Structures are given as C-alpha cells and as structure tokens.
Amino acid sequence: MPLARRICGGAVLALVVALALPAPAPAASANVAALQSALTALHLYRGFVDGISGPLTRSAVIRFQRRRGLLVDGIAGPQTRRALGRRGRPPLGKRVMRLGHFGWDVAALQFLLLRRGYGPGRVDGAFGRLTHRAVLRAQRARGLTVDGLAGQQTIGSLRGRSVSSGPGRFLRPVPGPIGDGFGARRRGGRRHQGVDFPVSYGTRVGAAAPGTTIFAAPNYGGYGHLVVIQHPLGYTTWYAHLSRITSWAGERVDGGTRIGYVGSTGYSTGPHLHFEVRRYNTPVDPVPLMSSAVAASAGGRRARTKLECRGRTDPVKAPRGSSWIARERLCRW
Ligand SMILES: [Zn+2]
C-alpha cells in the first residue's frame, strides 16, 4: 500500500489546535549533563540528566556552592568544578577514556552516547561494561576504529551534528524513513498530528528520550495500543498502534529503552508507528527535534529489569511506582 494512503487514527482523534508555535528546544550540552550527573550523585539535583541548563540545575549548583562556602552565583565555573572533586574533572577531551575510568568526561561521554541511541547505561561518570559496549557500538556504526577507547575522534563524531535540522532532542523511535509527515491532510479536513514510520510488524520501538511513561494501555479512540512518555520542559512523546507494549505507567525510561513493538492496532490500515511530539499537549512537528540516531539499542539496568508480561500478571514482581491498573491492562493481552 502506498505510504500516502495509510490512515492513522492519531490524527483523527486529536482535537488540539496548534495556536502557538513552540519555543525552539534548547540545545543539550554534554558538559551540562556531566554537571547534572555530579549533582545527582550528591543528592542536590533531582531532575533529568538531559544536558539542558534550567532552573533545577541552577538551584542545585547554588545549593552546592552554599554548602561548600564558594561564591554563590549558580554557575559551574572552575572553582565549583574543582570543588566537585573526582566528579568535576577532567574536562571532556583531555584524555582517552577507557574501561575503569571515572569522572566528568565519562559522564559527558555517556550523555553523548545516550543521545545518539547507543545505550551506555546510566550517566553516572563510571566507564563500566555498558559504556564500553556502547562505545564499541558507536564506533562500529560511525565507521571509526573499533577499539572501545573514547578519544577525540569518537567524541568528535558523537558531538558532531549528524542532521542539519534542529537540536536533536529526540531519538528516532524506530529505524527507517518517515512516510506521512506532520500536517498531512486527512479525511474531514483534519491534519496529521504526528509522523508515520512505515516499518514492519514487530519492529522494536525505543523511547525517544529519557522520561517517565504516563500511559501504557489500549486507547479505544484510534491510537490502538498506546504509550505516552513525559519528558522535561513540557514535552510528551506518543507511540501509537503498537502490537505489544512493554512499558508501564510510572516506568522511568532512558532514550532507547524498549517500550513496545510496532503493530497496527486502532485506526490503522497497516503496520506502522505513529509518533507524536507534544509540547504542553500541543502537537508539534517532530522532525526538527529529532536527531538521525535511532533509539534502537536499549541498554542499562532499566531495560533489563523491564516487566515482561507474556499474558500473565504477577503482582509480587510489580515494579515500584508502576500503576496496577495499567499493568493489569497491559498484561491482559
Ligand atoms: Zn499517523
């Protein structure tokens, strides 16, 4: 079936009219992510390690500076970074990072790997086996020397813009090109509220960015089996028509964590992923916000502890913070 003929329920349902253009998403920085990672370890920062400097990051820096008797300006300058000790050094690019290393540069590297969809595990500054494997995957995918050592070449490749559009805040949830784009006309004069990836049934779907799953259940209005993830800065991502859901309401996900598989549930004429990005519930065009990297290779502890339903429920093993109702519905299929 031609891509243009695919009919997708997401667009039929959505009633939100985009009255205001969203503010451009701020560019994420690996150094900000390293700072957030250090402040998280000190229990001063409770936000997402998203590389975006906002009020939460700033107030965490201020708390740290107060605690250590530094000049309180909310800016992580050389003095503040020195006071962070092992977590504040060395700068990214100063050394060739390898298995066993620890520090600021490793956290920055992990963030770059995460953003590109290589699944380095947590952004915690510790170059462990997951990070090592992620470096190998990245080097292989980018045509670099595959040695597991993260030096200038690897960092430069991960840092470089691989797309001319946008800051690449979101990974592509599945591989492959986009079929129907955002704003395409639909029957009844409606507009398509997301983009469609025409990929085969059963393709693994990865979370486009770190966040928390807030909906993971059938939607009877047209989206079919639907997962919605809440991200910082008022963003949500929507993954519709799934054949199977592997996330649950309340799950914290990283970019690349598997959340389900492509299907054709709901108003859909063939297997595809309908992907939406909303800002404060207003659908926006995902394309300028997406990097070229695919959220295909999930890594980290979260991915491994993920609930596998396979048609049965087991309340004893319910993950902390998961919604009972969502789980039960999830597991009933
Ligand atoms: Zn669609």
Task: Check if the beta carbon of residue 111 is closer than 8 Å to that of residue 169.
Answer: no
Same domain, 153 and 186: no
Residues 107-156 have pLDDT tens digits of 999 999 887 767 788 899 999 999 999 999 888 877 778 899 999 889 98
Contacts of 250 (CB under 8 A, 6+ apart): 212, 213, 319, 321, 322, 323, 326
38 found inside a domain: yes
65 CA from centroid of ligand 1 (Å): 48
180 Cα: distance to centroid of ligand 1 (angstroms): 7
Q: How far, in Å, from the CA of 300 to the mean position of ligand 1?
A: 30
- Domain count of the fold of the chain: 2
CATH number of residue 198's parent domain: 2.70.70.10
Instruction: Determine the pLDDT at residue 325.
Output: 35
Shared domain for 155 and 181, answered yes or no, is: no
Average pLDDT over every residue of 284-312: 53
- Measured in Å, residue 111 CA sits from the centre of ligand 1 at 30
Q: How far is the CA of 324 from the centre of ligand 1 (A)?
A: 29
pLDDT for 14 beyond 70: no
Q: Are residues 257 and 325 in the same domain?
A: yes
Residue 227: predicted pLDDT? 97
Q: Which domain holds residue 230?
A: 169-331
Say if residue 186 is in the same domain as residue 318.
yes
DSSP one-letter string for 13-80 = H------SPPPPPPPP-HHHHHHHHHHHHTT---S---S---HHHHHHHHHHHHHTT---SS---HHH
Calculate the average pLDDT of the chain: 78
Domain final residue pick, 102, 134, 159: 159
Where does a domain end: 105, 137, 159? 159
Q: Considering only 71-85, 111-125, 287-301, which range has the smallest mean pLDDT?
A: 287-301
7 occurs within a structural domain: no
Ligand 1 centroid distance, CA of 106 (Å) = 38
CA 135 to ligand 1 center in whole angstroms: 34
Q: Is 279 helix (H, G, I), strand (E, B) or coil?
A: strand
